[in-house]
Every structure is written in structure tokens, then in C-alpha cells.
Amino acid sequence: MRSLFLCLLCLPVFASAQSIYYTVEAPNAAHHEAEITVTVQGAKTDSVEFVMSKASPGRYATHEFAKNVYNVRAVDAKNNPLTVVKSASNAYKVKNAATIKLTYTLFANRADGTYAGIARNGYQLNIPASFIWVRGLDQTPVSVEFKNLPEGWSVASQLFPTAKKEVFTAPNFQYFMDSPIKVGKLHWRNWTVKNPNGKTYTIELALEADAPAVAIDSFTNNLKKVVDESIAIFGEVPEFDNGKFTFIASLNPYIQGDGMEHRNSTIVNSRRQFDGSNSFMGTFAHEFFHAWNVERIRPKSLEPFQYDQVNMSEALWLAEGFTQYYTSVIMTRAGLMTPEVFLRSMNGLINSKESAPGGKYSAVENSQRAVFVDAGVAVDETNYQNMFSSYYSHGGALGLALDLQLRSQFNKTLDDFMTALWVKHGKTEIPYTLPDVEKVLESITNKSFAQKFFNDYVYNSRPINYSTLLNQAGYELALMSENSNWIGGGMFRPGKTGLVVETATRKFTPLYDAGLDVGDEIISVNGVTVKKKEDLDQVINSLKIGESVNIEFISYGDTIQSKLKIEANPAQVIKPMTNKTSAQEAFVQKWIGAKRK
Ligand SMILES: [Zn+2]
């Protein structure tokens, strides 16, 4: 998603030599099929290779988008058939002709931020999931034409409009792949924002929802607050390539809940019917923050994006995790999230770093596992509950810790850090490595602080004392319940003889340490027969914290005797300290109070 405009001025020159032109129509939309034709002119190679993607930016696992492509055939300019050879699981080769028209059927029945949806009510096309592309023609301009659109439908996209309202263009391959398209009955709203240099940009909402105008207007007003709070962090909006940023939103029951960032647009989906409430707004805030953080402040590991294999990144704790932290910060500053809900969300981040077994792995390792966990589908069992903690929440917990450390030790904030990153790597669009990020942190703190932060929390995962950090805001971390007997939680169901462990047990819990795994059947605890969950709860609650008792269970047909230790529930919650000082009140105001002008 880079180097987009190197050759915008020479676009007409390229257009006369090489061009890629797609047409899309969906006469069988009732059954989720589209007919897509790509016409390629001026390719220089002996044969032209057409490829379906295996990867999609922002959704990091491997996807076999080619599985939903069939009826592939090709003709030349005079409609003479050309031979199509299937050259790989996701590719086709055609011997070159001055003009090649390749047509295929696309089945698309998952409208979200990654896949594609073709239905009676409209189309939602993420490009990697929908459009076959031509290898080697990375700099060739791309056009897309929608044919036979029903009356009243419109098209939302960051693609460039043309004189024909159903035709859109992209200057090159990377920009095209990054430009999702929504076609249907859309409600439109827009307003402008002005940067300190005087340039103005349009912010646009294209909303598919069954909603009265007044509800959309009030939602738009709140969206403006979110946009303004994001701008207040960086001091300006990015120079959106086409002069505008588009929120492409579908809030209706026919969609899959999702959010996906792009350079000049975002897809925001929710299955819940639009009710004008702000419960949808978090995703808007998250994705808009990405316009800076990941779209332009971008890890080198995602550049250039490889569409026929995955890009693995060590930096998603920053790209996604810090964005997750800022989602709650922005929502609270905008007055759309209460401080109580904000703290609950911080609580979730802290637990994912400090309590979940996966939090023991470094932020880098958890980021690198995105290629397996982020919509990755596996038939065999995985041990994610014990070796993975989401880079969203783990990274968010690091964002919270860094923000509070900068405030207490340097009279700086995470906003200052993000702005410094923006100036060095975002505005300039120079992709970063982790040592680059460490340097930026050093520039607003000092060498030893930056080095220690990266060594302790990025490359390793040492514990963070959140309680001390939260004290300056008048909060502390405390056990959720001082006297709650605990063996590790999980799901259970009555079995043939006893109580079956239904979910995988987690490391660092008494059940795991006693040797119990998913499928094992508990027979008795401390000599008391256990047949249902209530029996287990009763016997556990009758014991003392710290006590070790006998547990008998069946595992793979064998009866096992082991010891089960009763522990106190380690879950921690953020609690307000008694008698908050005015300094603590002022700290909170400066932290999550409104910043927008
Ligand atoms: Zn995100």
C-alpha cells in the first residue's frame, strides 16, 4: 500500500500502452454469483499469468480465495477463444495476445472486511477476495466498471471516480488491491476538516442501514467527535490521496461483523440493526486511527504486501495493539464511552498481558502468530489458549503501560510518542523496523528508558506493575474477590460416570497442574463424588485456599489419582482509591478528557 502516486501524471501515457479493465455484473446475485471479466492490453510477456490472492492486508492468515473462482475462460479482441492453462492452485496462464479478455464466475457469500458478498441487496467486494490480477503489471492503471446496476444503487470506494458514474480507476496494482467496494442502497453524509497548512479534506460516510435520516444525522455528529479526537492526537489528518476519507459502513443483519482499515477508507460492518446508538462507534474509531497507525506509520514487514503469500509482522502489537488502546481513549475523550467502561476495557488489556498464559510470550512472538490465528482455519487442535495472547490486547496493555510511564516519568504522553512516530515514519511513509521505533521512543525519553521498555516488554514479556502506574490516576489493581476458591474455570458437562472437562485447561491453573486435560472425566474431589458442575463447585467452596486435596479422574481409559490445589481467584480489577486527590482528578482529565477544539 505504498508508492501510489509516483506516476499519476504519466497515467494517460500508460493507459495508451498497457491497461487492465474489469467489468462486474451479477445476473445471478440471488445465488451469490458475479461474472467478472478482465481485459488486459499491452502485456509484454509471452504468456500472461492471472492470479487469485492468498493474502489480504489486515487479515493476516493465508486465505485460498481461488476456491470460489470457476468457469474461467478467455477470448481475444475478436472473441476467438484462447487456451487457458491452470498453472497453479490459484493461477491461470494464457498465451499472450494484443488483447486478452478473461472471464470467471465468483461465488461470494460473506460480506465483511476480508471476503466478498454478492446478494440481492448489493455487493461488498474486498479486492483480494474478488478480483484476479495479472502478475508483473504492478504499475499498470486499473479500471472497474459495474454493469446493470439497479436504480437507486450507488458505489462507495476509495477508487477514483470518472466521468462515467459506474466506472472507477486505480493508479496501480497496490492501490487497487487496497480499495474495497460497496455497491447498494447507501445513505451519504460528508463534512470537511482542515489541516494546519490550510488544506481541506472531505470525510464521508456511506452507510447501508435501514434507518431514518434523523438517526443517521445524529450518528454522523458523534462520528465527527471521534474524527476530531483522532486529529487532536496527531495535529492533522493524513494527506488522503483522493482528497477524502470514506467510512464504508453496513449496519444490518445481512452482514458479518468486522472492521478493516485502508489508506483512504475503511469497511465497518455490524450484524446488529442500526439504531443510531454509539455502540457501533468503537469500530469507526479503531479503523480511523489506522489511517495514521498502520496505513502510513507502517511496519517494513508489511511492505510491499505480497498477495500470493502472507507477510508476517513482528510489529502488530504496535499497529493493532496501540490502535486498540486508542479506540477506548478516543471514545472516552469524545464523550461516547464513560470512564467506568474505559477502565473495564483497560482491565481486559491488563489481564490479557498479566494473567493469560499467552501473555508470558513476547509482544513480538504474539504478533508473529497472527499468520495462524487471524481468521486462520485449522482442522487439527491448537494450544493457543496456552501459547498465544492476542496482539490486540497484549499490545493494548503495552500502550496503556507506556502512556502511564511517559506521563509519570517524563511529563510526556503516548500522544507525543504517536506524533513523533507520525512525523518520522508516517508523514514521510518510510516503513519502520522495531529498532526505528525504539529510536523514536528514545527521542522523547532517553536511551536507557527506551532500551529497557523494548527489552522488557517488546522482545520479552516481563510483568508490569499496573497498580503503581494507575495510582497517579487514583486507581489501583485489586483481586476481584479476596476469598474466592478457584481451580481454573472452564466448561464442564456430565459424562458417563463423572464430570467431563469440556474445554482445554489453561497453564498456571490448579486443574492444569493436576494433569487434567480436555475430555478427562472427574470422578471425585477430596473423596466427594462429582457428577455435575454444582457438585464440583460445592466441594471446591467447602475447602480452604492453599489446601491440596485428592482428585480422581479418568483419562484415556485409565483412572488417575492426583493432587488438586485450591487457590484464590487471581483475576484483578481496577478499583478507584478512596479519597481521590485533585492531582489525581487532573491527571485523569488530562489523560481521557476531551482534547478536540
Ligand atoms: Zn485494527
Phi and psi, residue 56, nearest 5°? -145, 125
From ligand 1's centre to the CA of 297, what distance in Å?
13
**Residue scoring higher pLDDT (423 or 4):** 423
From ligand 1's centre to the CA of 324, what distance in Å?
7
Are 159 and 246 a contacting pair, CB within 8 Å? Answer: no
Report the C-alpha gap between 329 and 350 in whole angstroms: 15
From ligand 1's centre to the CA of 133, what distance in Å?
26
Domains and CATH numbers, the chain: 11-148 (2.60.40.3650), 312-473 (1.10.390.10), 485-568 (2.30.42.10)
From ligand 1's centre to the CA of 490, what distance in Å?
29
pLDDT at 12 over 60: no
Using alpha carbons, list the distances in angstroms from residue 503 to 41, 67, 207, 517: 56, 32, 40, 8
From ligand 1's centre to the CA of 141, what distance in Å?
28
Return the C-alpha cell found at 94: 494464457
Are 552 and 559 a contacting pair, CB within 8 Å? Answer: yes
From ligand 1's centre to the CA of 286, what distance in Å?
6
Report the C-alpha gap between 175 and 200 in whole angstroms: 22
Read off the DSSP letter of residue 520: -
From ligand 1's centre to the CA of 426, what distance in Å?
17
From ligand 1's centre to the CA of 39, what distance in Å?
34
From ligand 1's centre to the CA of 554, what distance in Å?
43
From ligand 1's centre to the CA of 510, what distance in Å?
35
Three-state DSSP at 220 gives helix
Closest to 211 (Cα-Cα) out of 174, 245, 180, 249: 249
The predicted structure's pLDDT at residue 571: 86
Report the C-alpha gap between 140 and 177 in whole angstroms: 13
From ligand 1's centre to the CA of 215, what distance in Å?
26
Strands of the sheet containing 84-88, edge to edge, are 84-88, 91-95, 47-51, 133-134
Report the C-alpha gap between 73 and 137 in whole angstroms: 20
From ligand 1's centre to the CA of 148, what distance in Å?
35
Residues in the 5 Å CB sphere of ion ligand 1: 320
From ligand 1's centre to the CA of 261, what distance in Å?
7
Closest to 440 (Cα-Cα) out of 458, 462, 424, 457: 424
What digits encode the pLDDT tens for the residues 51-78?
999 999 999 999 999 999 999 999 999 9
From ligand 1's centre to the CA of 260, what distance in Å?
7
How much is the average pLDDT of 243-247?
A: 98
Taking CA 51 as the corner, what is the angle to CA 49 and CA 53, rounded to the nearest 5 degrees?
Answer: 160
pLDDT band at 5 (very low <50, low <70, confident <90, very high): very low
From ligand 1's centre to the CA of 586, what distance in Å?
30
From ligand 1's centre to the CA of 263, what distance in Å?
13
Largest separation between any pair of C-alpha atoms in the chain: 85
The kind and range of the H/E element at 323 are helix 322-333
pLDDT at 15 over 50: no
Q: What percent of the chain has pLDDT over 90?
A: 92
CB neighbour class for 566 (10 Å; exposed up to 12, middle 13-18, buried from 19): buried
Count of other CB atoms within 10 angstroms of residue 595 = 17
From ligand 1's centre to the CA of 289, what distance in Å?
9
From ligand 1's centre to the CA of 392, what distance in Å?
8
From ligand 1's centre to the CA of 394, what distance in Å?
13
Closest to 570 (Cα-Cα) out of 491, 487, 499: 487
From ligand 1's centre to the CA of 375, what distance in Å?
14
From ligand 1's centre to the CA of 320, what distance in Å?
5
Taking CA 110 as the corner, what is the angle to CA 106 and CA 114, rounded to the nearest 5 degrees?
Answer: 90
Query: How far is the first Cα of the chain from the last one, in angstroms, to the nearest whole number?
Result: 32
The predicted structure's pLDDT at residue 527: 97
From ligand 1's centre to the CA of 97, what distance in Å?
42
What digits encode the pLDDT tens for the residues 185-229?
999 999 999 999 999 999 999 999 999 999 999 999 999 999 999
From ligand 1's centre to the CA of 397, what distance in Å?
15
The predicted structure's pLDDT at residue 279: 87
pLDDT at 14 over 80: no
The predicted structure's pLDDT at residue 44: 87
pLDDT band at 369 (very low <50, low <70, confident <90, very high): very high
Scan for cell 496505513, then name that residue: 295
From ligand 1's centre to the CA of 511, what distance in Å?
34
What digits encode the pLDDT tens for the residues 485-533?
999 989 999 999 999 999 999 999 999 999 999 999 999 999 999 999 9
From ligand 1's centre to the CA of 280, what distance in Å?
15
Closest to 120 (Cα-Cα) out of 153, 146, 167: 153
From ligand 1's centre to the CA of 322, what distance in Å?
9
The predicted structure's pLDDT at residue 17: 78
Are 574 and 585 a contacting pair, CB within 8 Å? Answer: no
How much is the average pLDDT of 551-577?
A: 95
CB neighbour class for 253 (10 Å; exposed up to 12, middle 13-18, buried from 19): exposed
Report the C-alpha gap between 272 and 269 in whole angstroms: 9
From ligand 1's centre to the CA of 9, what distance in Å?
33
From ligand 1's centre to the CA of 288, what distance in Å?
9
Mean pLDDT of the chain: 95
How much is the average pLDDT of 170-188?
A: 98
pLDDT at 182 over 90: yes
Half-sphere exposure for 155 (CA within 13 Å, toward CB): 24
Which are the contacts of 257, defined by CB distance < 8 A and separation ≥ 6?
112, 269, 270, 271
Report the C-alpha gap between 259 and 124 in whole angstroms: 13
Q: What percent of the chain has pLDDT over 70?
A: 97
From ligand 1's centre to the CA of 401, what distance in Å?
19
From ligand 1's centre to the CA of 323, what distance in Å?
6
pLDDT band at 354 (very low <50, low <70, confident <90, very high): very high
From ligand 1's centre to the CA of 35, what distance in Å?
31
Return the C-alpha cell found at 130: 474478488
Report the C-alpha gap between 89 and 277 in whole angstroms: 45
Half-sphere exposure for 459 (CA within 13 Å, toward CB): 11
What digits encode the pLDDT tens for the residues 119-147?
999 999 999 999 999 999 999 999 999 99
From ligand 1's centre to the CA of 60, what distance in Å?
11
Report the C-alpha gap between 371 and 366 in whole angstroms: 10
pLDDT at 178 over 70: yes
From ligand 1's centre to the CA of 512, what distance in Å?
33
pLDDT at 13 over 60: no
The predicted structure's pLDDT at residue 8: 41
Provide long-range contacts, Cβ within 8 A and 24+ apart, for 214-217.
215/274, 215/275, 215/276, 216/187, 216/189, 216/276, 217/189
From ligand 1's centre to the CA of 182, what distance in Å?
20
The predicted structure's pLDDT at residue 45: 87
- Please state whether beta strands 265-270 and 244-251 pair in parallel, antiparallel, or not at all (unpaired): parallel
pLDDT at 10 over 70: no
The predicted structure's pLDDT at residue 376: 86
The predicted structure's pLDDT at residue 378: 87
pLDDT band at 168 (very low <50, low <70, confident <90, very high): very high
pLDDT at 313 over 70: yes
CB neighbour class for 513 (10 Å; exposed up to 12, middle 13-18, buried from 19): middle
List, in sequence order, every beta strand (DSSP E) within 232-366.
Answer: 244-251, 258-261, 265-270
How much is the average pLDDT of 230-255?
A: 96
